Amino acid sequence: MMLPVGLGILSALGLATPRPSAGGPPGGSRFPVGLLLMLTWSSSVAVGIPVGSPPNLIAIGMIRELTDRRLSFFDWVAVTMPLTVLMLILAWLILRARYTRAQDTAGEIQRYVAEERQKLGPWSRAEINVSLVFVLAAILWMLPGAVALISSPHAPLPRFFEAHLPESVIALTAAILLFALPTDLKRGEFTIGWRQAARIDWGTILLFGGGLALGRLMFDTKLAEAIGARMVRTAGAESLWALTAVAIVIGVVLSEVSSNTASASMVIPVVIALAQSAGVSPIPPALGAALGASFGFMLPVSTPPNAIIYGSGLVPLPEMIKAGFWLDLTGAVLIWLGLRVFCPLFGVM
């Protein structure tokens, strides 16, 4: 969704045509590289809610499947939303340092945004319906965890939601509402129809389910435990936060050479088994592996946003690697520090 916006801004600035010789932006300007890298990085670091990235859902599902713990929507947001904000600030600082453009572009960008906003017109009925359903779902997802934090996890409302209205049921209810809410009753049009639903990336959902099944098999066959034991001997990491650091590094490294979903499916069951064999909580290492898997910034293959931005022809591969290396490095440190602070703070242990 954001790539056309970014390309529109660059077009308004006269910077939207790649240089044929170098595959980069015209005229030697580094601004297009910085802008497009910010688009892909901001998409990848948006791990503040469970539905923001497939590794998030894989981590929640595997923690539920392989341990006796349940990670609520609120628990995830409380721990990872501050990390998302800090990572966005860090990404902006890195790109500002590397790709600051000497010329003032604020006027051209403001004019472009004003023109595009004018073309949008008022909100449509479909946009209003989607906004209302999303807000309702977000409130229902957050409410039990917020009540549990204020009062007790054993309070009536959190127990009712856990028994009768878990996160999956809320998501399905929201989808059903989108099929049911009309946009034009006379013409029989609704917020979403089967044509739109058929274009959903169902393959990703199947990949997610397959990853959970693979993780379960790795756990049941003791393969995850064997791999984890070898990792403990190799890395010499047996404490909770040392294991978390190892999980983060492995997640980041694997995500650079494979998809973030595949990386999370491989690493999370291993670190859960590793933590259990070491007698420590598996939640921080599992979260570290999931977040690390989403923080692959160096190569086009690392995440779908990287591939999309690289396909624009405005971001040379060496630039993506050099800038991504620094965000990989600082991001791994930030994940560890964030989990070290926020997991104990919110009782997600």
Q: How many other C-beta atoms lie within 10 A of the C-beta of residue 239?
A: 10
Average pLDDT (317-321) is 87
Q: Which residue has the higher pLDDT, 28 or 276?
A: 276
CA distances from 305 to 143, 171, 247, 308 (A): 31, 24, 23, 5
Q: How many other C-beta atoms lie within 10 A of the C-beta of residue 307?
A: 14
Q: How many other C-beta atoms lie within 10 A of the C-beta of residue 90?
A: 18
CA distances from 95 to 30, 33, 34, 222, 340 (A): 10, 9, 6, 44, 27
- Check residue 29 and give its pLDDT: 63
Q: How many other C-beta atoms lie within 10 A of the C-beta of residue 135?
A: 10
Check whether 162 has a pLDDT greater than 90: no
HSE-up (13 A, CA, CB side) for residue 40: 30
Strand intervals (E) in 82-239: 182-184, 189-190
Q: How confident is the model at residue 334 (pLDDT cuts 50, 70, 90)?
A: very high
Backbone angles phi, psi at 203, to 5 degrees: -60, -35
- Check residue 26 and give its pLDDT: 44
**DSSP characters over 227-296:** HHHHHHHHH---SHHHHHHHHHHHHHHHHHHS-HHHHHHHHHHHHHHHHHHHTS-SHHHHHHHHHHHH--
Average pLDDT (170-183) is 89
**Tens of pLDDT along 64-107?**
888 888 888 888 888 999 999 998 898 888 888 887 655 556 66
**Tens of pLDDT along 18-63?**
544 444 444 456 778 888 888 888 888 878 888 777 788 888 888 8
- Check residue 208 and give its pLDDT: 64
Q: 239: which 2 tokens?
A: 């404490």
* Mean pLDDT across the chain: 80
Check whether 132 has a pLDDT greater than 90: yes
- Check residue 114 and give its pLDDT: 78
Under DSSP, the state recorded for 50 is G
* pTM greater than 0.85: no
Q: How many other C-beta atoms lie within 10 A of the C-beta of residue 10?
A: 24
Q: How confident is the model at residue 154 (pLDDT cuts 50, 70, 90)?
A: low
Q: Which residue has the higher pLDDT, 290 or 259?
A: 290
First to last CA, the chain: 36
**Tens of pLDDT along 185-226?**
888 888 888 888 888 767 767 766 776 677 677 767 777 667
Q: Are 80 and 290 in contact (CB under 8 A)?
A: no
Check whether 287 has a pLDDT greater than 90: yes
Average pLDDT (320-329) is 88
- Check residue 17 and give its pLDDT: 63
- Tell me how far apart the alpha carbons of residues 344 and 284 are, in angstroms, rounded to a whole number: 10
- Check residue 21 and give its pLDDT: 41
Angle formed at CA 158 by CA 135 and CA 338, multiple of 5 degrees = 70
- Tell me how far apart the alpha carbons of residues 240 and 252 are, in angstroms, rounded to a whole number: 19
